[in-house]
Structure 1
Amino acid sequence: MYGRRLVTIEEIIALVSPDSDEELAQLKGWASNHEIPVHPIQVGEDINPVFSKETEYLGVTLGGDGTYLEGVRQFSPKEIPILGVNSGTLAFLASISPTELTDALDEVIQGNAKVDKRQQLEVRANDVHCTGINDVMIEHIPPENPVDRKITRLQVFADEEFVGEYEGSGLAIATPTGSTGVSLSAFGPIHYPKNNGSIQVVPLHTHRMGVRPLILDASTTVNVVSHKAASLLVDGGRAHTELSPDDVVTIEGSDTPALVITTSFDDDFFTSVSEKLGWSVREDRHDTGKQHLIKNKNDNAERDFISHSLEIAAEAARTAGQPLRELHGQTELIEFKTDKSDIVTEADYKADNIITTVINNEFPDHTIRSEESEEITGESKYTWLIDPLDGTGNFAHGNPNYSISIALLEDDRPIMGIVYAPETDELFSAVEGEPAQMNGNKLSTTNRQSLDECMLLSGYDPDGEFLSHCYRETRGVRRVGSAALNLCYLASGSADAVWEYDTYPWDVAAGVVIAKAAGATITNASGGAYQLLSKGTSRNELIGTNGVIHETLLSHLEDEQNLQKSENNATD
């Protein structure tokens, strides 16, 4: 899902190995055509001089796996996703060929690539404190005298619990991305590395038949104590030191993953394992099953277009929620307080860019109307209504009650809705005629029948009219500050009724679908049909209830308004 966020890339930092001039020229040419600046950095140099926290970067490595590992070391702490281009002779991690570079980059900026989170290790020993994506090798130092002892003894502890003492040529403490060959040589498993958080302790040339690799959770703290001097290498020498007797090496899963980009031009993991390590389970066998999976997926998409649209909208909303959460955290920091409007503008832009690009790529013939950008006109009967940030006032003041609203209309009738609250990770969704859900759980309105038992939500109330009419007769009137969330809270039973003084289509379209699917009744203030796309009116009033109290609430409001008019006439 993170891959959808790649549509917001603003600049590229390229780590360039020697003899990669042609690949760099190719990258620069493509980037120039897309008006994306490129910062070439030679391997061994630091990216900090060209890095800015406010910029969305793509990290590209041009070289082999050594260059890629250097990219991981520099890009990962800054949460920059990495695309590896293999301009060397052999690579396992950097798998995009130079001939496919521009096509892969097109896929990336269209949001169609994937970003996998790869577990890293954090290593502390002597003067070494670093992270690594592959492994930590602790090995015996060869003796000067060829007849001296050639094995080492290493004691291992897991969360201070003694695991045992390993005798042999050393240990590899590996991530799931780490050397599969090393694991296999010790009769260990093949780890599928994508989004896999674990640590593997692999004995090297063990002198005991019963010793086997050990798999631990990534949260485990592994301590290794060497009886004699030993050599420590992280990721094949990216960091290294010599250990003295009784030195302690501490290894644990890093909180910062490496963000690895994979495209349709990469070999998948099991193809690479099969080709490079001779994995026999694929020998003389054809991948016919995958074709059936693809066919079934396509058939389902054709049979159920609306469900497919719901899936895409949910992906877009969750992805757009990531930059909103990041920027929301800055609004109350002292150094950003004078620039709140700029932060809100940036948040609106980033979220809108992600959502509209994802939907336009997936449904190029659909019309897209967003509060924050120009309309994209399509030729089909379908229209998307988008509010990338509903509740901007809340957002600007650090309040968590803001949301993303995405609705699909068929001939101006809303048929699908997604509302996502990034701060609480609540995804409300519904398709017309099907149950409403929140994170997969079915929603239903309340069944309260008396106003004095009910909690009401109010939208913008310029004269305090709704509050004054309903506060005493109910258990309270609250204002959340997001029309989309108001309707979702009605759907979930957190409120019994909602009133909105003035609505815009993108504010409420998704929420109306969700509330109705949960059993709500939605009308205008007179009890007539609520028209989503009102024309020729100064405002578009909405009342939504659990259905049971709808007529009671409408009658109460009408009575209060009539009473108010009588009092005003008497005063005049």
Structure 2
Amino acid sequence: MGIIGKQDRNALETVARLVDWLESVGRVPLLDQRLSPHIDRPAERFCPRDLLAARCDLALVVGGDGTLLAAARVMAPRGVPILGINQGRLGFMVDVPPDAFEAPISAVLAGQHLTESRLLLSARVISAHGEVGPLLAINDVVIRNQASIRMLEFDTWLGEQFISQHRADGLIVSSPTGSTAYALSSGGPVMHPSLEAISLVPICPHTLSDRPLVVAADRPIKIRLGGGTGTLATVTCDGQSHEALRPGDELIVERAAFRMQLIHAAGYDYFNVLRNKLHWGRGPN
């Protein structure tokens, strides 16, 4: 197995305890190269993330959802399942408590766990200069105006079917996993992670009737940017990779050819996560 950790004091302390405990039960994990300045182990135990993905059959990720997203970019293409230990703020996907990880991880290693196979997004930018991509997104692909506060103009298609013209600050194309992230704060729906669906969520649309739309993931989504020559937009995948989009350019977003394998300890309940993280059914503090 491999261990990836967020680069902050609390997460690194948890990583150190995790490594000690795993070794005490006869497991010798590989470690992300970025942990080498902080964890005192032989050099051969550390390797870059791409090599870590090639050599391990389970990735333990210590951090928040952002840390897990970064790890999944490397692990998902190789089919390596991921188990998250929550050392972040919200933690929708990292559900193992950092102060009591021994029992859940022991259960996982004994085969007592749930595996979710989650849909991922693949994006390509097509312009007169060629094609950029594919770009991987676990949560979402977002178009925003790069240079000003002016609205963007863009058209959308599902496969060969035209959807609509839009004027908005941008557009979020979200996977079910990303539906509780930026898309949710922009008025999009919560989608169960087992759905084979994608949501299109306009950001501050000019027309009040331009509402979020959920579509089946069996056809690609095409977005063509309009506007004048001064328009310049940015395509962002999970807030971690960026590409320029100019008038006439097209963004193609579709279901990725591979999926993210997310491990949960037995007893995991998605709706319990929503109740706890979104404070459903609770009164004021």
1:135 is the counterpart of 2:137: no
For residue 44 of structure 2, what is the aligned residue in structure 1?
none
TM-score, normalising length: structure 2:
0.83
Matches within 5 A, 1:297-336: none
1:229 is the counterpart of 2:218: no
1:28 is the counterpart of 2:19: yes
1:180 is the counterpart of 2:171: no
Residue identity matched to 1:127: V
Q: 1:212–1:257: structure 2 CA closer, same or farther, 3 Å change rule?
A: same
Cα drift, residue 185 of structure 1: 4.9
CA distance in 2, matches of 1:175, 1:168: 20
For residue 270 of structure 2, what is the aligned residue in structure 1?
269
Q: How many residues align?
A: 261
CA distance in 1, matches of 2:33, 2:211: 41
CA distance in 2, matches of 1:66, 1:182: 13
Q: What is the DSSP-based 3-state SS (H/G/I as helix, E as strand, rest coil) of the residue aligned with 2:75? A: helix
CA distance in 1, matches of 2:142, 2:136: 13
For residue 101 of structure 1, what is the aligned residue in structure 2?
101
Cα drift, residue 214 of structure 1: 1.3
Contact 1:183 1:213 in 2 (8 A): no
1:196 is the counterpart of 2:185: no
Structure 1 stretches of at least 4 aligned residues deviating more than 6 Å after TM superposition: none
For residue 426 of structure 1, what is the aligned residue in structure 2?
none
CA distance in 2, matches of 1:34, 1:213: 49
Q: What is the DSSP-based 3-state SS (H/G/I as helix, E as strand, rest coil) of the residue aligned with 1:196? A: coil
CA distance in 2, matches of 1:275, 1:257: 26
Q: 1:184–1:105: structure 2 CA closer, same or farther, 3 Å change rule?
A: closer
Q: 1:22–1:185: structure 2 CA closer, same or farther, 3 Å change rule?
A: closer
Q: What is the DSSP-based 3-state SS (H/G/I as helix, E as strand, rest coil) of the residue aligned with 1:137? A: strand
Q: What is the DSSP-based 3-state SS (H/G/I as helix, E as strand, rest coil) of the residue aligned with 2:7? A: coil
CA distance in 2, matches of 1:171, 1:205: 9
CA distance in 2, matches of 1:137, 1:128: 15
Q: Which has the larger radius of gyration?
A: 1
For residue 128 of structure 2, what is the aligned residue in structure 1?
none
Identity %: 27
Q: What is the DSSP-based 3-state SS (H/G/I as helix, E as strand, rest coil) of the residue aligned with 1:178? A: helix
Q: Any idea what the Cα deviations from partners look like across 1:418-449, whole Å, max 9, x if unmatched?
A: xxxxxxxxxxxxxxxxxxxxxxxxxxxxxxxx
Compare the two structures and name the one with the higher helix fraction. 1
CA distance in 1, matches of 2:6, 2:132: 27
CA distance in 2, matches of 1:28, 1:183: 36
Contact 1:122 1:252 in 2 (8 A): yes
Cα drift, residue 196 of structure 1: 1.9
For residue 123 of structure 2, what is the aligned residue in structure 1?
123
Q: What is the DSSP-based 3-state SS (H/G/I as helix, E as strand, rest coil) of the residue aligned with 1:117? A: strand
CA distance in 2, matches of 1:252, 1:43: 32
Matches within 5 A, 1:78-477: 78-125=78-125, 126-143=131-148, 150-180=150-180, 182-185=182-185, 187-193=187-193, 195-227=194-226, 228-237=231-240, 239-264=241-266, 268-279=269-280, 282-283=281-282
Q: Any idea what the Cα deviations from partners look like across 1:107-157, whole Å, max 9, x if unmatched?
A: 1011111000111001112534222110001012242xxxxx610011111
Q: What is the DSSP-based 3-state SS (H/G/I as helix, E as strand, rest coil) of the residue aligned with 1:57? A: coil
Q: What is the DSSP-based 3-state SS (H/G/I as helix, E as strand, rest coil) of the residue aligned with 2:247? A: coil
Contact 1:231 1:242 in 2 (8 A): yes
CA distance in 2, matches of 1:40, 1:56: 10
Contact 1:16 1:42 in 2 (8 A): no
For residue 13 of structure 1, what is the aligned residue in structure 2?
2
Q: What is the DSSP-based 3-state SS (H/G/I as helix, E as strand, rest coil) of the residue aligned with 1:225? A: strand
Which blocks of at least 5 consecutive residues in structure 2 are unaligned?
A: 36-46, 126-130
CA distance in 1, matches of 2:172, 2:53: 33
Q: Any idea what the Cα deviations from partners look like across 1:395-433, whole Å, max 9, x if unmatched?
A: xxxxxxxxxxxxxxxxxxxxxxxxxxxxxxxxxxxxxxx
Q: CA RMSD in A?
A: 2.3
Cα drift, residue 180 of structure 1: 2.5
Q: Any idea what the Cα deviations from partners look like across 1:468-510, whole Å, max 9, x if unmatched?
A: xxxxxxxxxxxxxxxxxxxxxxxxxxxxxxxxxxxxxxxxxxx
CA distance in 1, matches of 2:99, 2:135: 34
Q: What is the DSSP-based 3-state SS (H/G/I as helix, E as strand, rest coil) of the residue aligned with 1:127? A: strand
Q: What is the DSSP-based 3-state SS (H/G/I as helix, E as strand, rest coil) of the residue aligned with 1:220? A: coil
Cα drift, residue 257 of structure 1: 0.9
CA distance in 1, matches of 2:114, 2:30: 23
Residue identity matched to 1:68: L
Which blocks of at least 5 consecutive residues in structure 1 are unaligned?
A: 1-11, 144-148, 285-572
Q: 1:259–1:43: structure 2 CA closer, same or farther, 3 Å change rule?
A: farther
Q: What is the DSSP-based 3-state SS (H/G/I as helix, E as strand, rest coil) of the residue aligned with 1:23? A: helix
For residue 42 of structure 2, what is the aligned residue in structure 1?
none
CA distance in 2, matches of 1:118, 1:240: 23
Cα drift, residue 47 of structure 1: 2.1
Q: 1:216–1:89: structure 2 CA closer, same or farther, 3 Å change rule?
A: closer
CA distance in 2, matches of 1:117, 1:215: 20
Contact 1:117 1:257 in 2 (8 A): yes
Q: What is the DSSP-based 3-state SS (H/G/I as helix, E as strand, rest coil) of the residue aligned with 1:200? A: strand
For residue 450 of structure 1, what is the aligned residue in structure 2?
none
Q: What is the DSSP-based 3-state SS (H/G/I as helix, E as strand, rest coil) of the residue aligned with 1:95? A: coil
Q: 1:226–1:207: structure 2 CA closer, same or farther, 3 Å change rule?
A: same
